[in-house]
Amino acid sequence: MAKKLKMKTKTKTKTKAQSSRPSPTHGTPLHQVRFPGESAKYRTARNALLRDEVALRAQIESVASKRRSLPLGGEIPEDYVFDEITVDGGVRQVRMSELFAPGKDTLIVYSYMFGPKMAAPCVMCTSILDGLDGQSAHVNQRVNFVVVAKSPIDRITNLARERDWNSLRLLSSAANTYNHDYHGENAKGDQLPSLNVFVKRDGRIHHFYQSELLFAPSEHGQDGRHVDMIWPLWNLFDVTPEGRGTNWYPRLRY
């Protein structure tokens, strides 16, 4: 009778990080950080919220990964010509192809709701640009970023001066169809707050992404939230007990 061979089973050795990682079962704390005076009730609720935040973080990255993996969109129908103020205060024309700096093949274009028939710019868009003015220098280290509005360039730059915007690259689309073609305005000419991304491949410029969440159905009591990711205002309110509220909006002046 043959002797039975003892089979050795291999077990994976856990790393120090893995062995110290809490089990993902419901109710198990994800960390041991505590704050002065907190109650058990608070900690239980906060731990449950933290699990939701971890899941949200994963979902955000999952969506971002799908966004990055989009195939090329359509090639732009023309090399749009925009107006821009020069350093000495003159006006020059710049083509879309010239907005791509050497070594940077991605262009982000924010459509600012400030048309020639509007008495004042969109308050919400202005709030976004108030924040992006400080970030644009950082953004432009990796990609190209511009803001386009339909008003004449002098009117746009006068507003920028009033708001003390110093870093945003501002362009006028008054003499082209960019706003119409890439949904920075509707069929009636009403301006829309669109975020578009373009990429250059093999010398050709293609559309890559647009904040289409604006056009999708939204939950009751919510707006489109299509550019929330670039708008710090509401994200700050989201971590407060008051939240975003239902009847407060930013203003041009306080």
pLDDT 10s per residue in the chain (254 long)?
433 333 333 434 444 444 444 445 566 889 999 999 999 999 999 999 999 999 999 999 999 999 999 999 999 999 999 999 999 999 999 999 999 999 999 999 999 999 999 999 999 999 999 999 999 999 999 999 999 999 999 999 999 999 999 999 999 999 999 999 999 999 999 999 999 999 999 999 999 999 999 999 988 877 888 998 999 999 999 999 999 998 899 999 99
Residue count (the chain): 254
Sheet holding 195-201, edge to edge: 91-95, 81-85, 170-172, 144-149, 106-112, 195-201, 204-210
Domain annotation covers residue 97: yes
Q: What's the structural domain count of the chain?
A: 1
Domain annotation covers residue 9: no
Domain annotation covers residue 205: yes
Give the amino acid at 93: Q
pLDDT digit string, tens, across residues 40-99: 999 999 999 999 999 999 999 999 999 999 999 999 999 999 999 999 999 999 999 999
Query: Which domain does 209 fall in, by range?
Result: 81-213
Start-end of H helices in the chain: 16-20, 40-68, 123-139, 153-162, 178-181, 232-237
Domain annotation covers residue 67: no
Q: Nearest to residue 125, comparing CAs of 231, 6, 19, 238?
A: 231
Distance CA 101, CA 182 (A): 22
DSSP for residue 85? E
Distance CA 49, CA 36 (A): 19
Where residue 101 sits, what CATH number does that domain have?
A: 3.40.30.10
Cα 240–Cα 246–Cα 252 angle in degrees, nearest 5: 90
Domain annotation covers residue 19: no
Domain annotation covers residue 109: yes
Domain annotation covers residue 179: yes
Give the amino acid at 22: P
Domain annotation covers residue 30: no
